[in-house]
Amino acid sequence: MIEIFLPDSSSKSFEKAPTGLELAQSIGQRLAQDAVGIKIKGQSEIQDLRLTLNNNDRVEIITLKSPEANEVIRHSAAHVMAQAVQKLWPEVKVTIGPVIENGFYYDFDSKITFSEDDFEKIESEMQKIISANISLTRQEWPIDQAIQTFSKMNETYKVEIIEGLKNDGNTVVSIYHQGDWFDLCRGPHVQSTGQIKAFKLLSVAGAYWRGNEKNPMLQRIYATAFKDKKELQDYLYQIEEAKKRDHRKLGKELDLFYFHPWAPGSPFFTGKGAIIYTELQTYLRQLYFKYGYQEVITPQIFDTELFKTSGHYENYKENMYFLNIDEREFSSKPMNCPSHCLLYQTQKHSYRELPWRIADFGRLHRYERAGTMHGLTRVRTFCQDDAHIFCRLDQLLAEIKGFMSLLKEVYQTLGMDEFNVYLSTRPEKRMGSDQVWDQSEGSLKQALEALNIPYTVNAGDGAFYGPKLDIMFVDALKRPWQLGTLQVDYNLPEAFKLTYTGEDNLDHRPVMLHRAILGSLERFIGVYLEHTAGHLPAWLSPVQAVLLNVTDRVNEYCHELESQLRALGIRVEFDQRNEKLNYKIRQAQLLKIPYMIVIGDQELEKREVTIRLRSGENMNNVPIDSAIQLIMSDIKNKNMKPNFQQEVSH
């Protein structure tokens, strides 16, 4: 007798081992109709419904309503797309079609150059396959049979894949049939094509076979699929909104930063962009004083002996830049931590002096492959709001608590309300013993639990010298971005033989914490521009206010007001172009300027102004002193939006 357990600990008994689908059918016909996959306790991946279960398996059935259903649906939608393409163009060869985040793609070898003009034709053919509600069946073929079959079909890429599986010791492969069309795949797949409820082709691009530029160039069609049309519509809206918010587009429109082919991956910040950059640094410096940090400045180029000691030379060399000076090998620093260890060594430290917190806005350089660079979010030269804390083991909990307090204060000020914490554990390539890693990971885990901070374990994604907390900010479009981080490091203090004199008058090894709140300033600015759609809070805006004259008769008054605002530190411009007021208002809105101060003859006579926000709201007949008070208050308090609710004295 075979017994299968369900998530509620109830069980089902079978005379022979059932498949996942047979388990669903034994529970109810409706459940069986909606089932698309199964999850077996102890296995992270979704399994195919056709899989035979083992005695005492604990099984969760994935249905069309389950959050995980989209993964299975996309696997099958990729097959539907490939079948449709080959139905329309039989000479096209298929390669691979994996599921990716938020969708899937399929790579084709085709003499026909696909374009988005072909999407309607492909989608129409896909819909025919889906409407036919074709059953998907799974077979296991002997590997030689599979090679022979795909060879006869001239599917050379499939043959190459199967031969690779054979070399790895596999004797059978799984084949999924979709009517008279079939494909090599390990699954999982839906029961029938009718379970694919919503799909959309998105874009087409070139891609080398197996990602190797020496191999043939293929055509990759990107697409997505969801378990219902509403989810698809929401996602398509998100894509369009993301295009509007693309920080590269906003950077050009707002004149914030540029790139040049002579300096790949190295942004040029304009006068306006540099204001955002320096305002963020100024704000963080204020908080450093509040939270007990000292700011330091360290060199950019070091003899590589530093990085051999720190472990970067062995574990991070492929990401570093090297040069020879006076017959010695040097490198620009990819991180500040080794130089901070040298700084720690310059003095003796007592247990009374710890924790010692130092911050550094030093410029860093890391090699990124040309194909991976992306605007400000992936660059080769950048600056972090980087800091290191050297502390005693008994101070660790308090320092992690202090880090989270600082992070929450910064994120709250910036309107970044939603974020998640991940505990990233030891990577495969690392320095230090397993005992040290056990201690480091245990310290972080205990601190998180003591502080009652919810977290998710991200196995294998720690730094090579220690485990870390990764702060994943969720932006306005619900996209996660890794920004802040806290890393617990026992290895670098050991490598540099760092010590402090304890209460027992003996030498002890400090714990080193690596931390950043925003992460790279370049990356943060790119993410934040997209989060806010370029509508920066007034304190960060390059131009905080613009004066708009209705007639030339008020120009002198506008110049006086401009001087007055500048004297108060407000970044103001006077748009005195000979254009209509509505045109100038529209231009100011496109530049995302928080305050438009409109002055006409009536305002001149009464020494008042009309304030217009970029959102379109107006406040009329505001005494000039009150208007200045309102703007100054918004900037000083770092309000996310101009506050018209304040009392304005008349």
Catalytic residue ranges = 337, 366, 384, 386, 388, 468, 514
Task: Identify whether 98 is preceded by a cis peptide bond (ω within 30 of 0).
Answer: no
Smallest Cα–Cα separation from 510: which of 530, 496, 526?
Answer: 496
Measured over the CA atoms of residue 459, residue 441, residue 388 and residue 429, the dihedral's sign is negative
What is 407-466 written as a DSSP string? HHHHHHHTT---EEEEEE---SS--S-HHHHHHHHHHHHHHHHHTT---EEETT-SBTTB
Are the beta carbons of 278 and 383 closer than 8 angstroms?
no
User: Between β-strands 268-269 and 35-40, what pairing exists: parallel, antiparallel or unpaired?
Assistant: unpaired
Query: Helices 521-532 and 271-291, interaxial angle, to 10°?
Result: 110
Angle, alpha carbons 479-484-487 (nearest 5°): 130
Single out the residue of 501, 511, 611 nearest to residue 565, CA to CA: 611
> Token pair of 157, please?
């890429």
The angle formed by the CA atoms of residues 545, 414 and 569, to the nearest 5 degrees, is 30
The strand pairing partners of 474, in sequence order, are 480
How far is it, in rounded angstroms, from Cα 441 to Cα 445?
6
d(CA 364, CA 241): 32
Structure tokens at 552: 């030339």
Q: Of 425, 416, 428, give the one whose Cα is nearest residue 468.
A: 425
Considering only CA atoms, give the Rg of the chain.
Answer: 30
For residue 22, the Cα-to-chain-centroid distance in whole angstroms is: 40
